[in-house]
Amino acid sequence: AGLDRKWRRRAVDHLHIAGGCEYIDAGCGTGNLCIEILQRLAPGQVTVTGIDHSETMLAKGKAKIAALSAGHSATFILGDATILPCKDSTVDGVISGFVIRNICDRQKALSEWHRVIRPGGRCVILELALPDNPIALMLYKLFTRLLIPAAGGLFSKYHAYAYLTDSIRTFPPPKAFEEMVRTAGFHDISSEKLTLGAVRIYSGTK
């Protein structure tokens, strides 16, 4: 119902966008977070690099940016979110949306993102989560165990939707993941709940 757009806007709020800065979207998909970053300031005042392992998604991201006439401010690179093509301490922030849940070595990813960020820069992670409110959790389980897989089955995507719910269930709880962010070297760690806790935004400063 368009909630994902609100989630992305709030995640970019945590990045503390500033003119003349450069950001990375690790696992950018079709570039929605990149677009949100670029639209915060006038064209040319901020740059963003989107990195993803899917050529198809990158092509769609390039088309979206071109339609905004902001192509000069965005670059899309085929690559791995855990091995960024950047020197140490060269970008002002890294943001990632709905990606780290799908990365096997999450600690490696967090450490890599810390490596490329300049001191004082920000790391922001937008991810799905299990609500901690008992009533919300009950409704969430009903929605994810019954309705989402059933809807996926209508489009022959049952296994993909089943993976979605399983990956959320097995993701580290908030406090454990915050500790992983801290172990990577970040400080001032925060976690914000959205949509009754079904989504969380984790952030930290280098």
**pLDDT score recorded for residue 114:** 98
Distance of CA 167 to the CA centre of its chain: 15
**Coil/strand/helix, residue 73:** helix
**Best CA proximity match to 118, nearest among 25, 28, 26, 205:** 205
C-alpha–C-alpha distance, residues 110 and 200, integer Å: 16
Q: What is the pLDDT of residue 161?
A: 66
Which stretches within 16-73 are classed as H helix? 32-38, 55-67
Q: How many CB atoms lie within 10 A of CB 122?
A: 22
Ordered per-residue pLDDT tens for the chain, 206 residues: 788 999 999 999 999 999 999 999 999 999 999 999 999 998 889 999 999 999 999 999 999 998 887 667 899 999 999 999 999 999 999 999 999 999 999 999 999 999 999 999 999 999 999 888 777 777 777 776 666 666 655 665 656 667 777 888 899 999 999 999 999 999 999 999 998 888 999 999 99
Q: In this predicted structure, what is the pLDDT of residue 90?
A: 98
**Residue 130's pLDDT is what?**
86
Q: What is the pLDDT of residue 52?
A: 97
Which amino acid does the sequence have at 67? A
What is the distance between the alpha carbons of residues 196 and 133, in angstroms, rounded to a whole number? Answer: 7
Question: pTM of the full predicted structure?
Answer: 0.90
**Please, are residues 50 and 34 in contact by the beta-carbon 8 Å criterion?**
yes
The pLDDT value given to residue 64: 92
Give kind and range of the element (H or E) at residue 173: none
Helix (H, G, I), strand (E, B) or coil at 72: helix
